[in-house]
Amino acid sequence: MMDKTLAELAQGLKNKEFSSVEVTQAHLDRIKSNDGNYNSFITVCEAEALAQAQAADAVLAKREAPVLCGVPIAHKDIFCTEGVKTTCGSKMLDNFISPYDATVVKNFKQAGVVTLGKTNMDEFAMGSSNETSFYGGVKNPWDVKKVPGGSSGGSAACVAAGLAPAATGTDTGGSIRQPAALCGITGLKPTYGRVSRYGMIAFASSLDQAGPMTRNAEDAALMLNTMAGFDPKDSTSVDREVPDYTADLNNDLSGLKIGLPKEFFGEGLDAQTEKAVQDAIVVYEKMGAKIVDISLPNSKLSVPVYYVVAPAECSSNLSRFDGVRYGHRCENPQDLEDLYKRSRGEGFGSEVKRRIMIGAYALSAGYYDAYYLKAQKLRHLIADDFKHAFSQVDVIMGPTAPSTAFGIGEKSNDPISMYLSDIYTIAVNLAGIPGMSIPAGFSNGMPVGLQIIGNYFEEARLLNVAHRFQQETDWHMRRPQ
């Protein structure tokens, strides 16, 4: 039961091979006995999960149920969940019990999906290694001395370790795809606006997007069918019909044009990681795909652009955490200024403080035009590069990360080196297009991710391209010991 995919569990529940309570209890037991090794959960919702599973079994027994009814998953602790502690991995929200559900959580509840718990994450989604969490770092199930990636490292680790068959994540600059690559699972960042951000605690509002983290592309399609859709509560949500993402999974890939950007295969890319990616490209060629060399000339600017835009937006979004309305409040403040200073100083970790200060500086009088406005102009050039590329090719491929998982503490004191972990993923967020990472091999015993990038709202094509690769290979079926 523990090795079954989301699709297999859903079919087994439909066929009454086992009950939702049995599946849920099995995963809760596994979390209890194994998560001490990984620290992938902040909150385990045992009582709530079993109650939801009993309700799902009642629905499954009486009538035709939604496809995922009774299947257990985990949610990244950035999604507000009614009656459950929602922390964003921060001391600032350690005492926050959400009074409502995020739209993503609500959609899964309405589909009868069981919530196992809330997964660990980099504080306020700021990090590439899951080492900035107030609740301690997450460990990679393939090697507990290495990081799982971030910020959705808890979701990636719990799926890789078999503690949950699937989990939700969020991606601001690669935070679904990079940990998916480092933990050997499948992760999809949809087009900006495809999935509601309502109730998803904001980091950088023009970049954040929720998506699924699963064992394979078929499961990601099932998750996205539930997650995607227009939400009037989210002003950035796109009112566009949601297709059945499972419908075209088996489409033939003959004639598919794959673009390989020369900028993704240069200096800084680990040699064995590059070999695994190139070997994956060969598999696609054998399936009838055609390789086209392309260029994304402004992609080299994506890291500096991102680290102006994202901190600027975070400095604005996180100003609401002031010790007055909710969240951490300092003891015995002397006056209002003291309340603000000490509550924020005690509640935020060092990486969050660093980004707030960078953002406040970039938005300050005299520097707005020089930094923030210029970064937004460059962002348009990065998006135009993708627009030009997609006039020549159907999808773009390359490495998800420049190397496999690095050691815990290895980059903690070198923020620039840490930021470069997302060098191949950030441009996708700046352009607002969809991208995903799938397992594509190993380097020194650690998973390598292949990134697949598509044009706006072409998630179905990405899932088809990923699924066909997974029918030809077994990298996605490998499990850590």
Residue positions annotated with a catalytic role: 76, 151, 175
348 token code pair: 């935020």
Cβ atoms of residues 443 and 475 within 8 Å: no
Nearest-angstrom CA–CA distance, 455 and 280: 21
Nearest-angstrom CA–CA distance, 198 and 183: 28
Nearest-angstrom CA–CA distance, 97 and 316: 23
Phi, psi of 278 (to 5 degrees): -65, -35
Q: Write the burial class of residue 265 (CB in 10 Å: 0-12 exposed, 13-18 middle, 19+ buried).
A: middle
Residue with tokens 């859709």: 229
Nearest-angstrom CA–CA distance, 91 and 330: 12
C-alpha dist (Å) from residue 262 to 50, 59, 443, 470: 50, 52, 22, 25
Nearest-angstrom CA–CA distance, 1 and 59: 21
Cβ atoms of residues 292 and 259 within 8 Å: yes
